[in-house]
């Protein structure tokens, strides 16, 4: 692991690090905010998964999360959204390829050699950070925005024993029925849509649910709302009688202005579960 930068931040440290990933076969970069409490021992962790076109840096610099995490004594991890670099497959479209890993393990060429973002986020990066930093693996929450909200919800519902809480900002809720999903899942996983079910939050809600607390925020003026399909997840939550806070925020769009407006709510929500 190489240190790219470390900066004092709200009494803690905001670092950026690069490491060789076994999952992707590439070098990967991630951000990690450690609150002041990490100097005295392991602290709870909140994973933040970013959306299409983003790197580790977008949420790290735009979401305003560090101030609230410092108040709560919670660490933040900001992974990248895809493998990158020479020899890594890409596409001219913004919503496929580099910057658009969709948090799945690709089985189809040309994506399969490197696009293993599910394993990267759930196995590879956790193994590194819990060995190298003062983080408590028994107290983890996960959140994300858009494609990252999709990733957070699907990972949490697949691994409920790992995560005490899950939240999402304007998540892609029903990708098997959306152009933000069918295109990518078909490219990465192939044409057999039975393989897509494990990566659809609305279908996972119907089949699995989540035992812990859940918070979902989406803006009513989100310019991508027809692709996100929040109503599919809301209906699945109601049908399962899942404990969840599901909010449509009047006037908000898909931007980081929306994310930063409700970041305090989300960090506090996770902190309550992580310190319970």
Q: What is the pLDDT of residue 197?
A: 97
- Looking up tokens 């925005």 gives 145
DSSP string, 118-138: HHIIIIIHHHHHHHHS-EEEE
What's the pLDDT at 173? 98
Question: How far, CA to CA in Å, does 262 sit from each of 11, 47, 163?
Answer: 22, 16, 21
User: What backbone phi and psi angles, to 5 degrees, belong to 49?
Assistant: -100, 125
Residue among 146, 167, 178, 202 flagged as catalytic = 146
In the set 167, 222, 266, 270, the catalytic residue is 222
Q: How far apart are the first and last CA of the chain?
A: 33
pLDDT averaged over 10-residue windows placed end to end, the chain, 276 residues: 98 98 98 98 98 98 98 98 96 97 98 98 98 98 98 98 98 97 98 96 97 97 98 98 97 98 98 96
Q: Give the pairing type, strands 27-34 and 12-20.
A: antiparallel
Q: Which pLDDT score, from 0 to 100, does residue 175 have?
A: 98
Q: What is d(CA 242, CA 115) in angstroms, rounded to the nearest whole number?
A: 32
CA of 273: how far to CAs of 52, 74, 132, 164, in Å? 28, 11, 24, 6
Which of the listed CATH numbers 3.30.43.10, 3.40.50.1820, 1.10.10.10, 2.130.10.10 matches domain 2-274? Answer: 3.40.50.1820
For this structure, is 254 an active site residue?
Answer: yes
pLDDT of residue 167: 98
> Is-catalytic flag, 146?
yes
Look at residue 141 in the predicted model and tell me its pLDDT: 98
Q: Mutual orientation of helices 256-274 and 65-72 as an angle, nearest 10°?
A: 10
State how far the alpha carbon of 55 is from the alpha carbons of 51, 138, 273, in Å: 8, 27, 27
At 16 the three-state DSSP class reads: strand
Output the pLDDT for position 114.
98
Give me the catalytic one of 56, 114, 199, 254. 254
């Amino acid at each position: 692991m190489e240190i790219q930068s470390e900066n004092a931040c709200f009494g803690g440290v905001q670092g950026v690090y690069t490491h060789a990933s076994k999952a992707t076969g590439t070098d990967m970069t991630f951000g990690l905010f450690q609150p002041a409490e990490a100097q005295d021992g392991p602290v709870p962790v909140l994973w933040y998964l970013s959306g299409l076109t983003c790197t580790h840096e977008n949420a790290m610099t735009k979401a305003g999360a560090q101030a609230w995490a410092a108040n709560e004594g919670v660490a933040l991890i900001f992974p990248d959204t895809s493998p990158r670099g020479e020899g890594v497959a890409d596409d001219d479209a913004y919503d496929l390829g580099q910057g658009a890993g969709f948090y799945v393990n690709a089985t189809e060429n040309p994506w399969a050699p490197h696009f293993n973002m599910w394993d990267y986020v759930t196995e590879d990066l956790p193994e590194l950070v819990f060995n190298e930093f003062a983080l408590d693996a028994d107290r983890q929450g996960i959140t994300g925005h858009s494609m990252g909200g999709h990733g957070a919800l699907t990972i949490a519902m697949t691994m409920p024993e790992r995560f005490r809480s899950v939240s999402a900002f304007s998540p892609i809720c029903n990708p098997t029925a959306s152009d933000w999903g069918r295109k990518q899942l078909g490219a990465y996983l192939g044409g057999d849509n039975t393989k897509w079910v494990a990566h659809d939050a609305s279908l996972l809600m119907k089949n699995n649910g989540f035992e812990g607390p859940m918070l979902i925020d989406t803006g009513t003026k989100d310019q991508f709302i027809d692709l996100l399909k929040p109503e599919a997840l809301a209906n699945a939550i109601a049908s399962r009688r899942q404990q969840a806070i599901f909010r449509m925020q009047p006037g908000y769009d898909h931007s980081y202005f929306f994310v930063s407006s409700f970041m305090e709510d989300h960090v506090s929500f996770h902190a309550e579960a992580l310190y319970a």
